[in-house]
């Protein structure tokens, strides 16, 4: 007798190449069976999923979920399990000096699984921008924090913002890369100058080109479609030449929607050139709450449907691709038998939807579909969705 049965849904699991009607049985919090038809009599409880889309629990590779510890953080479950997302990654909100608080007071209380990328500067970008912290960077203390938290810390984070370029220059790149190499973890870099900084282009371009040359397979570029100075794709559609080699090497391209680091125009230009995202993510932080951008991973996925990607592609970019980026592909990002039963159930609502890329509402994107989360199952436990999206 199975504990739970999800019946009649359209299962999309790109990791297994499945896109068809399948019933899913769960026992002891794990996927127990995946078949065309499983009788309800074989399970203690059945969830009817006819007309719905069933996917592995989504993974948001870029959020800020360390409230109280940092000014930037949002309560994890508000952006996690209540929106169809079973795993989130806090990207550099904390560094070695405040990671312990995040680990002790926030991570264990959440139903959503949380990983972290540790910032190079001592307190991360808990306050913004984090310029001063670079003078206090301590590779030994950072590496010690990584060592003490293997399995929880999945990478190192830095932001290539104007103040870092002006005050630190390429030594910032070298320091961050050295820490990541010694930790044997990926480096995630925020591309794009902070909105109110006035760093000259002549200083930004050499820094970004050097940075791109330094990034290895598995390192992550975040905000790939920013229109800010220092972005990968320029408003005229040209790109830093080093980008192509970085893509060939296997550098991960992450979207990180946010409220001023994403542009539909730049995304269109990138997609036309074949610069596809590896991962879709939100960059959810409390400064982004209640903006017309409506941050939610399913909304970002819906934007990419409107930009021409397929449903299978956007699900791949929020399941197996981030799982691979985290080195977690054996535990999440798919619904293989024996894996933890992290599952998302959605409706693909049809209608006329309007999406915004930035807080300023400078660009509008019209879409015909919007993914609406209905139910998240985390390790076999049902959690009702409370979706954040515009009617």
3-state secondary structure labels for all residues of 255-319: CCCCCCCCCHHHHHHHHHCCCCCCECCCCECHHHCCCCCCCCHHHHHHHHHHCCCCHHHHHHCCC
From the list 202, 126, 222, 123, the residue with the least C-alpha distance to 162 is: 202
State in angstroms the smallest separation of the CB of 206 from Zn ion: 24
Q: Of 27-35, 84-92, 167-175, 270-278, which part binds Zn ion (CB under 5 A)?
A: 84-92
Q: Of 86-94, 110-118, 179-187, 273-281, which part binds Zn ion (CB under 5 A)?
A: 86-94
Using the rule CB under 5 A, is 254 a contact of Zn ion? no
From the list 385, 336, 389, 305, the residue with the least C-alpha distance to 86 is: 385
Which neighbouring-strand residues pair with 344?
Answer: 55, 376
State in angstroms the smallest separation of the CB of 189 from Zn ion: 11
Tokens at 55, concatenated: 């996917």
- CA-to-CA separations, 103 to 47, 220, 282, in angstroms, rounded: 34, 23, 22
State in angstroms the smallest separation of the CB of 121 from Zn ion: 14
User: Based on CB atoms, which residue is closest to Zn ion, 63 or 377?
Assistant: 63
CA-angle at 109, arms to 93 and 118, nearest 5°: 20
Using the rule CB under 5 A, is 283 a contact of Zn ion? yes
Interatomic CA distance for residues 220 and 148, integer angstroms: 23
Residues recorded for the chain: 391
State in angstroms the smallest separation of the CB of 62 from Zn ion: 6
User: Based on CB atoms, which residue is closest to Zn ion, 226 or 334?
Assistant: 226
Q: Are 355 and 302 in contact (CB under 8 A)?
A: yes
Other CB atoms within a 10 A radius of the CB of residue 250 amount to 12
State in angstroms the smallest separation of the CB of 92 from Zn ion: 7
| Sign of the dihedral defined by the CA atoms of residues 217, 221, 227, 228, in that order | negative
Question: b/e map of 12-37 (b: 16 or more CB within 10 Å)?
Answer: bbbbeeebeebbbbbbebebbbbeee
State in angstroms the smallest separation of the CB of 162 from Zn ion: 16
User: Based on CB atoms, which residue is closest to Zn ion, 256 or 341?
Assistant: 256
From the list 288, 275, 318, 286, the residue with the least C-alpha distance to 300 is: 318
User: Based on CB atoms, which residue is closest to Zn ion, 283 or 357?
Assistant: 283
From the list 342, 315, 314, the residue with the least C-alpha distance to 328 is: 342
User: Based on CB atoms, which residue is closest to Zn ion, 283 or 328?
Assistant: 283
Tell me the residue nearest to Zn ion as measured from the CB: 283
Q: Of 42-50, 280-288, 293-301, 304-312, which part binds Zn ion (CB under 5 A)?
A: 280-288
Interface pattern 172-211 for Zn ion (x via CB under 5 A):
----------------------------------------
Q: Of 275-283, 299-307, 369-377, 380-388, which part binds Zn ion (CB under 5 A)?
A: 275-283
Using the rule CB under 5 A, is 342 a contact of Zn ion? no
User: Based on CB atoms, which residue is closest to Zn ion, 116 or 335?
Assistant: 116
Interface pattern 44-83 for Zn ion (x via CB under 5 A):
----------------------------------------
Q: Of 13-21, 85-93, 171-179, 261-269, which part binds Zn ion (CB under 5 A)?
A: 85-93
Enumerate binding residues for Zn ion (CB under 5 A). Answer: 91, 283
């Amino acid at each position: 007798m199975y504990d739970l049965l999800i019946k009649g849904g359209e299962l999309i699991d790109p990791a297994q190449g499945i896109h068809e009607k399948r019933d899913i049985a769960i026992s002891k919090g794990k996927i127990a069976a995946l078949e065309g038809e499983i009788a309800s009599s074989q399970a203690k409880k059945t969830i009817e999923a006819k007309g719905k889309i069933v996917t592995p629990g989504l993974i948001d590779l870029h959020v800020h979920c360390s409230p109280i510890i940092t000014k930037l953080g949002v309560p994890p479950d508000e952006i996690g399990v209540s929106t169809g997302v079973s795993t989130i990654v806090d990207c550099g909100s904390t560094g070695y000096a405040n990671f312990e608080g995040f680990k002790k007071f926030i991570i264990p209380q959440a139903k959503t699984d949380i990983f972290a990328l540790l910032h190079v500067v001592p307190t991360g970008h808990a306050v913004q921008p984090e310029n001063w912290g670079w003078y206090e960077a301590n590779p030994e203390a950072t590496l010690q924090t990584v060592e003490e938290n293997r399995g929880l810390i999945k990478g190192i984070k830095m932001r290539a913002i104007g103040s870092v370029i002006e005050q630190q220059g390429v030594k910032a790149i070298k320091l961050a890369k050295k820490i990541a190499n010694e930790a044997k973890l990926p480096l995630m870099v925020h591309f794009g100058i902070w909105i109110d900084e006035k760093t000259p282009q002549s200083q930004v371009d050499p820094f970004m080109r050097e940075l791109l040359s330094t990034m290895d397979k598995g390192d992550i570029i975040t905000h790939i479609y920013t229109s800010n100075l220092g972005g990968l794709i320029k408003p005229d559609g040209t790109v830093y030449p080093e980008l192509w080699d970085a893509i060939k090497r296997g550098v991960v391209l992450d979207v990180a929607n946010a409220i001023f680091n994403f542009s539909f125009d730049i995304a269109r230009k990138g997609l036309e050139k074949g610069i596809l995202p590896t991962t879709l993510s939100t960059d959810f932080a409390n400064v982004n709450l209640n903006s017309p951008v409506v941050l939610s991973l399913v909304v970002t996925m819906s934007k990419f449907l409107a930009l021409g990607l397929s449903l299978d592609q956007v699900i791949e970019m929020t399941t197996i691709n981030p799982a691979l980026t985290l080195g977690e592909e054996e535990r999440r990002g798919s619904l293989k038998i024996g894996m933890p039963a992290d599952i998302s159930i959605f409706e693909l609502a049809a209608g006329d939807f309007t999406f915004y890329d930035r807080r300023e509402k400078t660009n509008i994107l019209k879409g015909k579909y919007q993914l609406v989360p209905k139910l998240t199952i985390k390790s076999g436990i049902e959690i009702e969705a409370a979706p954040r999206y515009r009617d």
